[in-house]
Chains A and B, each alone.
Chain A
Amino acid sequence: MTPTVEKTCAAGPADEGTTRVAPVVGRTSTTAPAAEPAEVIRTEGLTKTYPSSGGRHEKDVTAVDGLDLTVCRGEIFGLLGPNGAGKTTTVGMLTTRVIPTAGKATVNGIDVVADPARAKYFIGVVHQVNTLDRSLTVWENLFFHGLYYGMSTKASRARSDELLQRFRLTHRAGSQVRALSGGMARRLMVARAVMHRPAVLFLDEPTASLDPQSRIALWEMVGELHAEGQTILLTTHYMEEADAFCNRVAIIDHGKILALDSPAALKHKAAAGKAPVGNAKAWLAQLRALERTSEAPSGNGNAAPDNAAVEAALIEVINAAERHGLSLDDLAGQVTLESVFIDLTGRDLRE
């Protein structure tokens, strides 16, 4: 599958018909939409090579290799890949923490290498580990973040209160952040990251190590932010989440984009190349014939239902499918993003 890199964004938020969250409503901004570039992130040939640590047989490691991608205003864009694929390094470069070896990256039109201080103004980051300021209270974490970004004391205070309420943390305002549960801490990190209204919110493995309930709560809040027009770039190795929430995903491995499209399009393309093969096809045809026979009304001279034959054929089909490395989903044409990934990389995402 050849990567299809979208080079231009339509003006306004992306709406590609695959959005699973609520459509964009009531966007309010102090600036006229015309002043906002349609693309929030753009990378061209973005590359990061880490020098070897000096061992005789060690080679330089290219963590990100000539990455070209465009993230449009208003979309949720997923970087999907196994550990070590280059996702975190890519986010590091886009958030000014990693200096690219080659290539270019802009955030909201600002070159992140040439003008990192200015670029940081447009970036909100939620890391996969807890990076809350443990010397400050829950409320102070938000309040000081606002001040770092030049908000007045009054504005930062009001927005801190508002976000605590919105992220259901008001009752913990004066708590030490150490006392928060994993889900609450992650919610506070998201609240802090959007405190200064960034042009793009980076979520690095946002639901890693969260329990299912906290995961649902977090996605609900992320969905609301997106519905209000927040552009989001997330990295994940949870296929289901990428499938459910991303407008577009880039499948990345060894620092390169292997495929880039909407989850539906990726699955569609994969399904097209996945016609049942060889004996499995024949067995499936036979099974269908038997099913038709069994469904036919009795007493009209046709063969009687033969459950044993159906079962035998079914077992043959399953066995044949397994021999060809196919799941029953594949046979039925229901490709998951996970199987797309395995097709592209030859390995399981969680390996």
Chain B
Amino acid sequence: MTAVSVPVGVAAEDAPKARSATWAAFKALLLRDLTVLDHDLAEFLPNTLTQPAMLVFIFTYVFPRIGQGIGGSNNAGRFSTLLLGGLVAQSVIFQGLFRVALPLAREFDITNELEDRVLAPTSVKTIAFEKIFAGALQSLFAGLVVFPVAAFLPSTPIYLQAHWLILATITPLTCYTSAALGLTIGTRLAPRLVPLLAGFIALPLGFFGAIFYTWDALTPIAWLKYLVLVNPLVYMSEGFRAGLSIGVVHMALLPVYAALIGFAVLFTVLGVTGFKKQVIS
């Protein structure tokens, strides 16, 4: 064995300045998370695509052909159109949520493998923010992957029109909020409950998230229409509907942006403080 370079402690003055160290650590942590995404791509793609592809197939191909209620009859094109925004929003929120919350819960509860990253020479807050940022990028990727499936697979016509300004603002806001929700759940929910996310968080989020119907369509059931406003997915679905389609009624943009910004701030505060609580005692 040869003694090559020598691990001798460096003097305090040698520590990089706080800002450059923080930036270097942030970039490296992000690169690590994207490398892991690259390793997991064979699992990530089917995981992201299966559900939207099946929904599109059943609702926009099978139902119209067998003449069954939803998606069928004369408003089939309208349904495919409203489903598009909902499916993109759903993919974004679920990937943001799961890609952040599940690994965190596993790392805190069982593997302790977060240790090395928590010791990176930067503040714990920076490490928590990196988690949100990496989750947001992955949910953006999920949204991009699902879009062609939801836009071009339906057999019924889709009235697609991109409103770029809306898309350019709603997309990052939605991705960020989803990942911040993931950090909140991954750090604040008892780790043993997190694997059950699909059952008691994802399902209610999805069914009451204005994916298969517009929020406005709930008018006949007033109590439900106002109750679902606690669900961030409602604003995401409505936001993507506003950004992607034409001829479908959607919620006014002001409440969409206000609510998404509110949720983003709330989940950031809950997520970052939750992360600190987990790693510092």
Contact = CB atoms under 8 A, between A and B. Distances in A.
Interface stretch (B4-12, B218-226, B260-268): B4-12
Interface residues of A, number: 64
Contacts of B50: none
Contact of B20 (A26, A36, A150, A194): A150
A186 B6 CA distance: 20
A117 B16 contact: no
Contact of B6 (A73, A96, A123, A229): A229
Nearest to A229: B8
Nearest to B120: A148
Contact of A125 (B7, B35, B115): B115
A213 interface: no
A134 B32 contact: no
A120 B124 CA distance: 11
A29 B6 contact: yes
Contacts of B249: none
A1 interface: no
A30 interface: yes
Given A118-B15, A192-B116, A166 B7 contact: no
Contacts of A26: 3, 6
Contacts of A314: none
B281 interface: yes
B167 interface: no
A149 B7 contact: no
B111 interface: yes
Interface in B256-281: 279-281
Contacts of A50: 281
B18 A199 contact: no
B194 to A, nearest CB: 17
Nearest to B119: A120
B7 A194 contact: yes
Interface of A: 26-31, 35-37, 40, 50, 73, 92, 95-99, 108-110, 116-118, 120-123, 125, 127, 129-136, 140-141, 144-145, 147-150, 159, 162, 166, 168, 192, 194, 197-201, 224-225, 227-231
A28 B8 contact: yes
A226 to B, nearest CB: 10
17 contacts: A28-B5, A28-B8, A30-B10, A116-B124, A117-B126, A120-B121, A135-B36, A147-B24, A148-B32, A148-B116, A150-B20, A159-B5, A162-B4, A199-B9, A224-B3, A228-B6, A228-B8
A140 B280 CA distance: 26
B161 interface: no
Given A110-B12, A147-B31, A148-B29, A97 B281 contact: yes
Contacts of A110: 12, 15
A136 B21 contact: no
B121 A149 contact: yes
Contacts of B121: 117-118, 120-121, 148-150
Contacts of B14: 30-31
B163 interface: no
Contacts of A231: 9
A228 to B, nearest CB: 5
Given A31-B11, A150-B24, A150-B121, A224 B1 contact: yes
A230 B7 contact: yes
Contacts of A168: 1
A117 B21 CA distance: 9
A198 B9 CA distance: 5
Nearest to B112: A131
Contacts of B21: 117-118, 121, 150
B39 interface: yes
B132 interface: no
Given A97-B118, A117-B21, A27 B9 contact: no
A30 B118 CA distance: 27
A129 B115 CA distance: 10
Given A141-B116, A197-B10, 19 more contacts: A27-B8, A28-B5, A28-B8, A31-B10, A35-B11, A73-B9, A96-B280, A117-B126, A120-B121, A121-B121, A122-B9, A122-B12, A129-B112, A134-B111, A150-B20, A168-B1, A197-B7, A199-B9, A230-B8
